[in-house]
Amino acid sequence: MPDEQSVCPSCGEPVEVGALTCPHCGINIQTGESYETQVKRAKGGRGPRGRIARHLGFGVTLAFALVVLGGFIYQQRVVTVMRDAPLKYADYIQRLENVDALAAQGKSADAKREGEALIHDLVQMDKSIVVELAPTTDQLGKQERPKSIRWAEKRLLQNLVKKTEFALSRLPQQK
């Protein structure tokens, strides 16, 4: 039985029936892909667009990683500030407890004097903390918002002032 042959759709040379590629031009007879296309696909098809996409993907990944890292560092700083706050402000907290103790002992004048001195010291400490503001735009329009971690410290001091003022407001009024 003679070998059956067909014609290559690309170069027109005779090829055996059932052959996958043309021995003359290298085209895949079933898919019509050239040898060069097959090599590029095997290597990953990285032409200029592939390179750009790879670089763009790397840039997006790097940007995302930097944002995550920045958020992590910021959170660690907040945790450190809030963890150290009781140590840093222990004296103020002790003085506030002393105001309550003096009031419980009926020493209203001493409690008032100590409370007013504590408020003065807390306000001075609050004024010494500088918080940078950053312009932001949201649904309410342009605003200035704190961008410093020290904002948490200021809020803690302001809270202590309010607690001291409340303790003083409960003292009996002197005549």
Q: Where are the alpha helices (DSSP H) in 44-149?
A: 48-88, 90-104, 108-128
Q: Which of 150, 167, 154 is nearest to 95 (CA)?
A: 167
The reported pLDDT for the residue numbered 86 is 67
Sign of the Cα torsion 48, 53, 58, 59 reads positive
The reported pLDDT for the residue numbered 89 is 79
pTM listed for this prediction:
0.47
Residue 173: helix, strand or coil by DSSP?
coil
Question: Exposed, middle or buried by CB within 10 Å (0-12, 13-18, 19+), for 15?
Answer: buried
The reported pLDDT for the residue numbered 1 is 43
Render 143-158 in DSSP notation, one character per residue: EEEE-STHHHHHHHHH
The reported pLDDT for the residue numbered 46 is 58
The reported pLDDT for the residue numbered 27 is 84
Percent of the chain with pLDDT over 90: 23
The reported pLDDT for the residue numbered 175 is 53
Assess contact for 129 and 143: CB atoms under 8 A.
no
Q: To the nearest 10°, the Cα dihedral for 111, 117, 120, 121?
A: -120
The reported pLDDT for the residue numbered 97 is 92
pLDDT lower than 70: segments of the chain: 1-3, 42-50, 81-82, 84-86, 132-149, 174-175
